[in-house]
């Protein structure tokens, strides 16, 4: 049996389930690496002890003996159990047991999966299914509604060109055009958010990405008499990290659009009609800060600005910041907002500089130097 365990030692260490092997008397013969992580004991502390060390005192009279009996003489046990870790913390697990014979000896295997981890995996699976289902529904709704909206807008424009109307009637028709345009934009934004692709990571320079976005706004900002200033003095090194630059650019586009709108509504005589984009970073993180001296956000709205369709402006859809937050978090980053009414707003995006594990980034030992795989 010892030879079998040695041959399977490395394989069992990579299994993301706590695995314990005992003899017929529940004496622990082997534990894998995940068991150490789950219960907090080292292998040396567990091996040679009894499986009872993980069970609560009140379960030693009936529960554990019943599990051992079902495993040895029936088809094994499968069910939930409340166990204890080394530090005394109780942990809820799903337990599977089975028995087998090897060279005339009987052995029992115990497999433990933490309930919280199972629930998390289930939530992630359901979330992916929900987004997939929602995506198909949104595509169908967009298809069914876009054509009527375009038709309404088209006929309204034709009426304005071919027929004479009073000033009041023309204002009604122009209002129809504005509303159809808003509906078209809303459909586009909802599609953009719901059908957001998974990020494809490549090493890119953040300064180049930001400069490209600013160039796009260079045509729009002057209309509002707003200037955009880029500052890079707090950026260490090349400022490159693993990102999906197309999605980051879209997120920045939405944030800058909000800033331009905020600054554009301030009096033109004010000197603060500019937006400052600052890049900063160290060995571990890269940050982008977008600051304006606009009207600011009321305190009661600060916790709502990332909610879908929340906007204080009736002509806006209210999905720009929602989209930006999802993009940032999908790429392992976080987004922070600071704002004071009549003083301005700062939105900061912070990303991990290298999302790869240490083993992919650098040599972990001098012995690894020069090693290759044939």
Task: Mark whether 69 and 89 lie in a shared domain.
Answer: yes
Task: Mark whether 304 and 262 lie in a shared domain.
Answer: yes
Task: Mark whether 217 and 330 lie in a shared domain.
Answer: yes
Report percent pLDDT > 90 for the chain. Answer: 29
Confidence (pLDDT) at 314: 65
DSSP for 276-339?
EEEEEE-SSEEEEEEEE-SS---HHHHTTTTSTT--SSTT--S-HHHHHHHHHHHTT-EEEEEE
Task: Mark whether 144 and 259 lie in a shared domain.
Answer: no
Give the range among 60-64, 106-110, 258-262 with minimum mean pLDDT: 258-262
Grade residue 131 by pLDDT with cuts at 50, 70 and 90.
low
Task: Mark whether 154 and 189 lie in a shared domain.
Answer: yes
Task: Mark whether 210 and 312 lie in a shared domain.
Answer: yes
Give the range among 114-123, 223-232, 274-283 with minimum mean pLDDT: 114-123
Task: Let me know if residue 42 belongs to a domain.
Answer: yes
pLDDT in tens, 357-370: 554 455 545 554 44
Task: Let me know if residue 368 belongs to a domain.
Answer: no
pLDDT in tens, 230-273: 998 888 877 888 899 999 999 999 899 888 888 877 765 555 67
Is residue 182 scored above 60 in pLDDT? yes
Task: Mark whether 87 and 49 lie in a shared domain.
Answer: yes
User: Residue 103's domain is classified under what CATH number?
Assistant: 3.30.450.20
Position with higher pLDDT, 160 vs 347: 347
Task: Let me know if residue 366 belongs to a domain.
Answer: no
Q: Please state the rounded mean pLDDT for residues 3-29.
A: 75
Task: Mark whether 174 and 224 lie in a shared domain.
Answer: no
Task: Mark whether 110 and 183 lie in a shared domain.
Answer: no
Total number of domains in the chain: 3
Task: Let me know if residue 342 belongs to a domain.
Answer: yes
Angle value at C-alpha 253, between 139 and 323, nearest 5 degrees: 40
Task: Let me know if residue 76 belongs to a domain.
Answer: yes
Task: Mark whether 171 and 149 lie in a shared domain.
Answer: yes
Residue 136 sits in which domain range? 119-194
Task: Let me know if residue 370 belongs to a domain.
Answer: no
Task: Mark whether 18 and 35 lie in a shared domain.
Answer: yes
**Which own/partner pairs from 26-30 qualify as long-range (CB within 8 Å, at least 24 positions apart)?**
26/50, 26/51, 26/52, 26/64, 26/68, 26/108, 29/1, 29/5, 29/107, 30/5
Q: Round to whole Å and give the CA distance between 299 and 77.
A: 55
Query: Model-level pTM?
Result: 0.55
């Amino acid at each position: 049996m010892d030879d079998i365990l040695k041959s399977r030692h490395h394989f069992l260490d990579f299994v993301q389930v706590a695995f314990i092997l005992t003899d017929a008397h529940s004496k622990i013969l082997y534990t894998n690496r995940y068991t150490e992580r789950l219960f907090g004991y080292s292998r040396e502390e567990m091996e040679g002890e009894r499986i009872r060390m993980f069970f609560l005192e009140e379960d030693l009279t009936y529960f554990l003996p019943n599990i051992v009996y079902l495993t040895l003489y029936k088809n094994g046990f499968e069910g939930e159990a409340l166990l204890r870790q080394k530090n005394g913390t109780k942990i809820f697990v799903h337990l599977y047991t089975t028995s087998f014979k090897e060279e005339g000896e009987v052995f029992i295997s115990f497999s433990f999966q933490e309930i919280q981890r199972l629930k998390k995996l289930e939530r992630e699976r359901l979330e992916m299914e929900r987004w997939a289902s929602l995506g198909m529904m949104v595509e169908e709704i967009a298809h069914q509604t876009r054509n009527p909206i375009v038709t309404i807008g088209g006929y309204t424009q034709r009426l304005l060109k071919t027929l004479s109307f009073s000033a009041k009637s023309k204002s009604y028709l122009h209002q129809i055009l504005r509303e159809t345009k808003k509906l078209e934009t809303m459909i586009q934004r909802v599609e953009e958010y719901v059908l957001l692709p998974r990020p494809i990571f490549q090493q890119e320079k953040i300064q180049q990405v930001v400069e490209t976005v600013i160039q796009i706004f260079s045509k729009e900002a002057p209309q509002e008499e707003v200037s955009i200033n880029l500052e890079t003095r707090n950026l260490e090194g090349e400022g490159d990290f693993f990102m999906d630059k197309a999605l980051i650019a879209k997120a920045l586009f939405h944030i800058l659009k909000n800033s331009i709108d905020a600054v554009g509504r301030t009096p033109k005589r004010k000197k603060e009609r500019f937006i400052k984009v600052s890049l900063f970073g160290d060995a571990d993180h890269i940050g982008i800060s977008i600051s304006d001296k606009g009207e600011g956000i009321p305190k009661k709205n600060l916790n709502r600005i990332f909610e879908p369709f929340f906007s204080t402006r009736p002509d806006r859809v209210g999905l720009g910041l929602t989209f930006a937050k999802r993009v940032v978090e999908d790429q392992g980053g976080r987004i922070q907002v600071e704002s004071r009414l009549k003083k301005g707003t700062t939105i900061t995006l912070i990303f991990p500089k290298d999302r790869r594990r240490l083993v992919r980034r650098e040599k972990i030992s001098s012995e690894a130097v020069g090693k290759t795989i044939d």
